[in-house]
Structure 1
Amino acid sequence: MTPRALDRQSPHPMYHQLKHRLLELIEEDGLAPGDLLPGEHRMCEMYDVSRTVVRQALAQLEHEGVVSRVRGKGTFVAPQKVAEALVHTLHGLHEDMTARGADVTSRVFRQRIESASDEVADALGIAPGEPVVVIERLRFVDGEPWSLSTTWMPEWAGESALAVDLRRRSLYGVLAESGIHAVRGVRSAEATVADPEKAKLLDVAVGGPLLVLRSVGFDEDERAIEFFVAYHRGDRSRFEFQLRAADESVAKLRHTGVEGD
């Protein structure tokens, strides 16, 4: 495509304009993940800007996950991250992704009864050493490694899943068939990096970014029915949060500036 000139009279900074020109270039030329963008020197010529402007624009695009820069090789269109609603809903990965038309499969490493560790017992509200059903799976979305998850359930809740083939099935769906439903949950997300084992399974570099999701789900009787820890690839996923004022007092605090942003 013929590059559109930047507007030097515009109130928007040059790097901001260039960033949007590069987004247009990616969209209009139909560039796909892995495609190489013009080099920095070529961009300077195309848009008549300094290398500083080019680098500022590319830094913003890299921060937003649109491009990835490889030292000595150039700038590439990055695989687009999928927004997952797993933090603010009680859906699992299977439900969230199949609703988007994706194919979700699992490689099951553990599907058995074990004794609850102190951490698991505390999360489930049971005594350490009590039997729990543990299910450890490497999850794939459209054939690509996506997350490594381990779920622990009290024996009464998880026993129905022990003999089920979970390679293509939703664990939540299996539990629902036995009348077990999560109606409330507590979830958290944090950043970490991949150790050698997780890097190999998730096909990322050692030290690469991962997002850790931890969750405890409760049934209508306020019994903990599951505790899971899932490591998601940071280059494929981002979690969405939906926020709202809890009540009028919170809204008033925000309006008066007492509550922080």
Structure 2
Amino acid sequence: MAPQPLPLVLDRGSPVPLYHQLAEQLAAAVRTGVLLPGDGLENELAMMDRLDVSRATVRRAIQQLVAQGLLVRRRGRGTTVADRLVHRKVELTSLYDDLVGAGREPRTEVLQHRRGADTEGAAGLGLVDDDEALLYLERVRYADDEPIALLRNWLPPALADIDATALEGDGLYAVLRARGVRPQVAHQTISARPPSARERRLLGIGRGQPVLTMTRLALAADGTPIEYGSHCYPAAAYNITVMIDER
């Protein structure tokens, strides 16, 4: 069934651009629950004809909401309201724990679990000897069966015996805590970029949709490296909160 048209009104006498007026009304419909997660948006051509605006105006409004994470474009499904956002604070927590705390159901698929020398991992962990056998992990994390993260981690030799089965049922930090290993300090960098073809396939996102990337080196209280991660996430599914304390 085609989505029901929203009661959209554009003021052509206003100095506010038409695309921005349209974007604000669509965003309000999402935020107030008129449009729910997974709901489809009215066809671009139908909206263009109904509102008597150019297709460029409609596309620019929709793209603005895609960039804000309110709408998602998916091949074969058109434009839909984004599923519930994953709210993450910039602090030393695991995605698995954040999902559980938000009432989501996390699931993990382990794609790679191998031990051996790894130049990228050794550099990330700050190890002088890149011949040491590290544990490399690559996992897809799901929330309510929606792929929301591609996770790549390197662990130092002392932790290289962690079993893949443990990581299918719990988060990496929970597995580490069960061994008495607790990350205390981390150096973390967040950025954005276009996804690779493989990342698009694994995360179920379309061309033109960016991914957030995060690299993180986690350390024990004595400065010993515990894990190095290089992850990517569908940008539309995330809201990152930063708290600034000026004390």
TM-score range, shorter chain: 0.7 to 0.9
Distance 1:5 1:196 in 2: 39
Q: Secondary structure at the match of 1:165?
A: helix
Q: Cα RMSD over matched residues?
A: 3.4
**Deviation of the 1:133 alpha carbon:** 1.8
| Greater relative contact order, per chain length (Cα 8 Å cut-off, separation 6+) | 2
Q: Which of structures 1 and 2 has the bigger CA Rg?
A: 1
Whole-angstrom distance in 1 between the partners of 2:41 and 2:24: 17
> Residues 104-123 of structure 1, C-alpha deviation per residue, up to 9 Å, x if partnerless?
11111223321131x32222
Rate the CA distance shift 1:31–1:208 in 2: closer, same or farther, 3 A: closer
Which residue of 143, 146, 150 corresponds with 1:144?
A: 146
Partner residue of 2:110 out of 94, 102, 108: 108
Pairwise mapping of residues 64-213 of structure 1 onto structure 2 (< 5 A)? 64-67=68-71, 76-80=79-83, 82-85=85-88, 88-117=90-119, 119-126=120-127, 127-159=129-161, 161-162=162-163, 164-205=165-206, 208-213=209-214
Amino acid at match of 1:213: M
Q: Report how far residue 186 of structure 1 moved.
A: 0.6
| Residue 35 (structure 1) aligns with | 40
Describe the SS at the equivalent of 1:145: strand
- Which whole-Å CA distance do the structure 1 matches of 2:219 and 2:164 have between them? 23
Unaligned runs of 5+ in 1: 45-49, 248-261
Measured in 2, the distance between the counterparts of 1:124 and 1:2 equals: 52
Q: 1:167 is paired with a residue of what secondary structure?
A: helix
Structure 2 CA distance, aligned partners of 1:34 and 1:2? 12
Structure 2 residue runs of 5 or longer lacking an equivalent are none
Aligned mates of 2:160, 2:194 — CA distance in 1: 30
Structure 1 position 192, deviation (Å): 2.1
User: What is the rounded CA distance, in whole Å, between the counterparts of 1:207 and 1:148 in structure 2?
Assistant: 18
Change (3 A) 1:123 1:40: same
Q: 1:228 to 1:94 in 2, by over 3 A?
A: same
Letter in 1 for 2:117: S
Give the alignment's TM-score, normalised by structure 1. 0.74
SS at match of 1:113: strand
Amino acid at match of 1:203: G
Contact kept, 8 Å, 2:37 with 2:83, in 1: the verdict is no
Normalised by the length of structure 2, the TM-score is 0.78
Distance 1:25 1:80 in 2: 14
